[in-house]
Amino acid sequence: MKQLKLKIITPEELILEEMVDQVSLPTNLGEITILPDHIPLITNLSSGDIVAVSNGESIPMAVVGGFLEIKKDEEGITNVAVLADFAEHLSSLTDEAIEEAKNKADELRKQMENKEHVDYEHFATELERLITRLKIADKWRNKKYRK
């Protein structure tokens, strides 16, 4: 069975590099699923979950912003490159990390209400990151996935 090469990178680290059967991603135009032999494409990512499937196992990750590029290499393998502003394996979201994210999100909301703070973009970006982590962790709480 054909597979595609998935590579997910943030400015800080390589999150995942693996051969997978398919991958679903959130884009600004909606969610798309990429299979081997997908047409070339470059598009923006939105906040949500990336779900790669390998040997019948789901590999979910939270993602916030970035770009997606799909192209074939010289050998005909479909390469999917995700250059994300933020990405994280769901398995790294422990109960403690989720509780900490909830507390930090509440704190940021309160700080944003203070009109003296000028850096709204920083607060909005950090709040979006925290809310996405919480939303994806809640979505996958009772589902099976590869850890």
43-70, pLDDT tens digit by residue? 999 999 999 999 999 999 999 999 999 9
Region 23-41: mean pLDDT is 96
Across the range 96-121, mean pLDDT stands at 67
pLDDT (0 to 100) of residue 31: 96
Q: Is residue 42 part of a domain?
A: yes
Q: Into how many domains does the chain fold?
A: 2
Domain co-membership, 83 together with 41: yes
- In this structure, the answer to whether residues 32 and 70 fall within a common structural domain is yes
Q: Which of 43, 116, 51, 115 is nearest to 87 (CA)?
A: 51
Supply the pTM of this predicted model: 0.77
Q: What pLDDT band is residue 94 in, cutting at 50, 70 and 90?
A: low
Question: Which sign, positive or negative, has the C-alpha torsion 131, 104, 10, 60?
Answer: negative
45 and 109 inside one domain: no
Q: What is residue 125's predicted lDDT score, i.e. its pLDDT?
A: 74
Q: Are residues 102 and 72 in the same domain?
A: no
* Domain span holding position 26: 4-91
75 and 99 fall within a common domain: no
